[in-house]
């Protein structure tokens, strides 16, 4: 792959393996096996409550959006070294403000606290199974803030509650959000033998991913598949020509114009989706035209769809989800931060000079920010923590893509700005 | 929408390559709004001229070159997406790079004809089209095809600038639709007219089974 190709759209490199979990014995195990012996629960220390929607730090510096799927993570450790592991579950109370609606939640699953010395907070944050996780209901997220208290921690089955000390309360502010308005258009093409169009699965992955990773309370979604104005062989974009992706984007722009003339909301972003046909030569690299410096939903983009297969560390059934998140990010004004650097194969230009984290990660060298994917049961996507040390910002060309706080906050501001101009 | 519409604007979508001095008007679509909120400054050398039958320039708009998302915005090619006011007497839109005309869009007969088969006149004279922009010697009247679920307010466009009003759609894309409507708009780019409007027979709308609109 030559460098100029690598600099335009996310290229298709060899599969990238997912990073292994930390070596050595895991200090915690997911509470899925037989429970540890039941004994009295010693006093516990609550290291804090972290309220997360996509990425967060423990002080809640990342915007929390009213109505967006939200998980409260409670970090609990024993007050002193445990002689044997214990399994605990938790109960959280919430109160929405103003209004005062209240409720009580049980943790999604128990957590096993391992024998030995209490773990450090950073260790707990890196794995979803090391925190008591609570999925807040919509009523809890409808106000301007929500008060939270880790009410009880018990052994499953009714063991008396453990005495709790530490930071068991939190109040977080919820900012207003607006839906992401997007229409994804599958572009159907034909070769001599077959017709190719993205499976519905890819649309569902995109819709779900955008809802989980983008700073919006919901996704106002529509999808359609139409006949493309191009066919193989495909021309990849270069420094002197946009190739097939440019033709695709032109068609998407025209469809958008026709839709808007007949009533579609002007804030709707349009994205073209092209099946890779499970063939390398049918992989049409993604491209956005342009990167607007001011709110401009007329900017369109397109990208490929296919099975993950290790592509950028993605092992699930579709890479179209985060790929769309990248190209769509351009239409919201996000630039490439330059990871990998442009002078290596598969690198990208460094167009965003302010990206703050090394190597394109979603956190700095300190583990301050941790990504969190609330998951999607319908797609088999688990709830999981995404350590900032191994996950990378969606605007990079690095493996394992998610949103950094930097990109997340910028997307939030831009989407809000678009809503101010065009209505929510 | 009334049968005949001549909205106040037209929307031009095209591709321009400044390095090769080539360009192509891909689509011209009637538009109801002139507001674009484009964030980039227009490139004064890329111009869309609205002309009358005597080649008089009735209006001229500099276009924004929407460059691709990489290379720090230095690429010399990109899309243009411009709304132009619809001017009385206009017969063609010309895409220019500097003084060089690189493409023209011109319906043959001003206004919309009722006949579906009406043709567009030759636009011979467009010059400088590179291999990436195959020249069209003739333009035909085009068709925009839209579908709408029962209960939905808005139409979704499934074909734009189609040379034929007959478009296959996999109505299985609308598995939850109790009713599905379609319409065909005949367009010369400057205005359009609904020439077909009706309900799609969902009995044939099984996945993989195309319904002809």
* pLDDT tens-digit map of A78-117: 999 999 999 999 999 999 999 889 999 999 999 999 999 9
pLDDT of residue B51 exceeding 70, the answer is yes
Closest chain A residue to B83, measured at CA:
A257
What percent of chain B is predicted at pLDDT more than 70? 74
B133-143: pLDDT as tens digits: 333 433 557 89
A183–chain B Cβ distance below 8 A for any pair: yes
The per-residue pLDDT for A15 is: 47
Instruction: Tell me the ipTM for this assembly.
Output: 0.86
Mean pLDDT of chain B: 77
| Beta carbons of A242 and B77 less than 8 Å apart | yes
Distance CA B88, CA B201 (A): 40
User: Cα–Cα distance between A240 and A242 in angstroms, integer?
Assistant: 7
Segment B156-175 mean pLDDT: 84
pTM over 0.90: no
Residues in A touching B154 (Cβ below 8 Å):
259, 262-264
Choose between B156 and A19: higher pLDDT.
Answer: B156
Which residues, in sequence order, are CB contacts of A24 under 8 Å at separation 6+?
none
Residue A2: count of CB within 10 angstroms of its CB = 9
Which candidate, A163, A108, A170, A157, places its Cα nearest to that of A136? A108
Q: What is the mean pLDDT of residues A237-266?
A: 92
Position B108 scores a pLDDT of 55
Q: How far apart are CA B113 and CA A162, in angstroms?
A: 82
Distance CA A351, CA B72 (A): 5
- How many Cβ atoms from other residues are within 10 Å of residue B117's Cβ? 7
Q: Which chain B positions have a beta carbon within 8 Å of A422's beta carbon?
A: 37
Q: Is B34 on the interface with A (CB under 8 A)?
A: no
3-state SS, residue A325? helix
Report residue B49 as tokens.
């001229």
- What residues of B are in contact with residue A241 (Cβ under 8 Å)? 17, 77, 132
Tell me what the mean pLDDT of segment A170-193 comes to.
97
Cβ-Cβ pairs closer than 8 A, A with B, add up to: 163
Average pLDDT over residues A1-14: 44
Token duo for residue A113: 């606290």
- Quick check: A7 contacting B, CB < 8 Å? yes
Q: Do B40 and A330 touch (CB under 8 A)?
A: no
DSSP per position, A378-404:
GGTB--EEEETTT-EETTSS-SSEE--
User: Which of A279 and B34 is assigned the larger pLDDT?
Assistant: A279
How confident is the model over A59-77, as pLDDT tens digits?
999 999 999 999 999 999 9
Confidence class for position B115, pLDDT limits 50, 70, 90: very low
Residue whose pair of structure tokens reads 């994804």 in the numeric block: A184
pLDDT band at A238 (very low <50, low <70, confident <90, very high): confident
Where does residue A174 rank: exposed (0-12), middle (13-18), buried (19+ CB within 10 A)?
buried
Candidates A257, A293, A323, partner chain B, best to mutate (most B CBs within 10 A):
A257
Q: Are A165 and A45 in contact (CB under 8 A)?
A: yes
Q: Indicate the pLDDT class of residue B178, thresholds 50, 70 and 90.
A: confident
pLDDT digits (tens, 9 = 90+) for A323-332: 999 999 999 9
Distances from the Cα of A51 to the Cα of A135, A144, A280, B28, B206, angstroms: 10, 14, 41, 49, 45
In B, which residues are within 8 Å of A325 by CB distance? none
* Calpha distance B144→A245 (Å, rounded): 22
Mean pLDDT of A267-282: 96
């Amino acid at each position: 792959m030559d460098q100029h190709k690598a600099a335009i759209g996310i290229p298709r490199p060899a599969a990238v393996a997912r990073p292994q979990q930390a070596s050595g014995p895991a200090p915690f195990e997911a509470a899925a096996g037989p429970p540890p012996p039941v004994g009295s629960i010693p006093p516990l220390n609550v290291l804090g409550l972290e309220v997360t929607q996509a990425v967060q730090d423990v002080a809640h510096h990342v915007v929390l959006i009213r109505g967006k799927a939200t998980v409260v993570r409670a970090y609990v450790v024993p007050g002193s070294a445990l002689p044997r592991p214990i399994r605990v579950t938790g109960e959280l109370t919430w109160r929405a403000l103003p209004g005062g609606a209240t409720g009580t939640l049980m943790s999604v699953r128990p957590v096993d606290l391992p024998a030995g010395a209490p773990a450090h907070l950073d260790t707990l944050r890196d794995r979803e199974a090391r925190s008591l996780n609570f999925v807040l209901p919509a009523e809890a997220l409808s106000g301007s803030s929500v008060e939270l208290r880790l009410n009880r921690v018990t052994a499953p089955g009714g063991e008396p509650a453990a005495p709790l000390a530490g930071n068991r309360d939190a109040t977080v502010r919820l900012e207003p959000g607006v839906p992401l308005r997007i229409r994804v258009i599958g572009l159907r093409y034909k070769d001599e033998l077959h017709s190719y169009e993205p499976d519905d699965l890819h649309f569902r992955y995109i819709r779900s991913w955008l809802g989980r990773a983008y700073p919006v309370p919901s996704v106002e979604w529509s999808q359609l598949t139409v006949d493309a104005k191009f066919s193989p062989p495909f021309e990849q974009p270069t420094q002197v020509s946009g190739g097939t992706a440019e033709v695709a984007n032109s068609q998407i722009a025209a469809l958008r114009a026709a839709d808007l003339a007949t009533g579609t909301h002007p804030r709707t972003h349009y994205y073209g989706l092209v099946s890779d046909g499970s063939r390398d030569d049918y992989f049409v690299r993604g491209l956005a035209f342009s990167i607007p410096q001011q709110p401009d939903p007329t900017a369109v983009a397109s990208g490929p769809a296919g099975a993950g297969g290790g592509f950028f560390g993605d092992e699930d059934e579709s890479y179209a989800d985060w790929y769309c998140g990248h190209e769509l990010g351009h239409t919201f004004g996000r630039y490439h931060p330059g990871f990998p650097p442009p002078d290596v194969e598969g690198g990208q230009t460094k167009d965003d000079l302010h990206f703050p984290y090394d190597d394109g990660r979603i956190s700095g060298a300190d583990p301050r920010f941790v990504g969190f994917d609330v998951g999607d049961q319908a797609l088999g996507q688990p709830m999981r923590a995404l350590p900032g040390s191994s996950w990378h910002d969606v605007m990079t060309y690095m493996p394992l893509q998610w949103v950094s706080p930097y990109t997340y906050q910028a997307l939030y501001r831009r989407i809000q700005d678009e809503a101010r101009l065009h209505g929510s | 929408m009334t049968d005949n519409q001549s909205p106040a604007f037209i929307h031009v979508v095209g591709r321009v390559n400044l390095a090769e001095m080539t360009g192509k008007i891909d689509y011209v679509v009637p538009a109801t709004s002139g507001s674009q909120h484009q964030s980039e400054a227009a490139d004064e050398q890329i111009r869309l001229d609205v002309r009358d039958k005597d080649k008089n320039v009735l209006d001229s708009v500099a276009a924004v070159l929407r460059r691709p998302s990489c290379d720090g915005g230095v690429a010399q090619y990109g899309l243009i997406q411009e709304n132009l006011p619809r001017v009385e007497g206009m017969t063609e839109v010309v895409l220019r790079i500097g003084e060089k005309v690189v493409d023209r869009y011109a319906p043959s007969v001003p206004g919309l004809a009722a006949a579906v088969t009406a043709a567009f006149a030759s636009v011979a004279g467009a010059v400088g089209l590179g291999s990436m922009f195959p020249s069209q010697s003739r333009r035909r009247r085009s068709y925009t095809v839209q579908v709408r679920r029962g209960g939905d307010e808005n139409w979704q466009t499934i074909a734009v600038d189609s040379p034929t009003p007959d478009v296959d759609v996999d109505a299985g894309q609308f598995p939850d639709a109790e009713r599905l409507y379609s319409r065909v708009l005949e367009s010369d780019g400057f205005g359009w007219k609904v020439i077909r409007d009706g309900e799609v027979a969902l009995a044939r709308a099984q996945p993989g089974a195309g319904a002809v609109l």
